[in-house]
Amino acid sequence: MRVLRLLIVLRLFQLGRYHPSFEILATVLSKKRWEIFATAVIGVTLLVVMSTLMDLVEGPVQPDKFGSIRNAMWWGTVMLTTVGHGDVFPITALGKVIGGLTAFLGIGFFALPPAILGSGFYEEVQPRKRESKEPSICPHCGKVIDER
């Protein structure tokens, strides 16, 4: 029974051959791969920098929670993704400022990939729309109207 369910799920991947949206998605991901990669590098860099800052500020005050950069990276991941578990949080004033800045940067960081993909979809769909349009014909003279 599990094998049958797996085959049904795997069959969904064949939908890409039949629907043009999946083709557009593959094209956009291919064309925007370097922008998405750069965004991921920025995210990892942001995580390491903010976690290091928090370790320097909060580490001496809360060694059990921010005692190492690795522990601070858990906090950084939670703050950048705005999940906010609440199990680890800063208690110093400077730590709270860094925490607020990290949350603010996390919101901006996670807005980048959808913007990149959205602009990629727009760039990919617009030429296809122009190609599929039938030319307009002037009702007076019968000539094709150039719509540029």
The residue with tokens 């860099």 is 45
The domain ranges of the chain are 44-119
pLDDT digits (tens, 9 = 90+) for 43-77: 999 999 999 999 999 999 999 988 899 989 988 98
Cβ density class 127-143: b for 16+ within 10 Å, e for less: eeeeeeeeeeeeeeeee
Residue 148: pLDDT over 70: no
Contact 77, 69 (CB under 8 A): no
| Measured distance CA(100)–CA(91) in Å, rounded | 12
Please determine, looking at this structure, whether the domain spanning 44-119 carries the CATH number 1.10.287.70.
yes
CA 89 to chain centre: 25
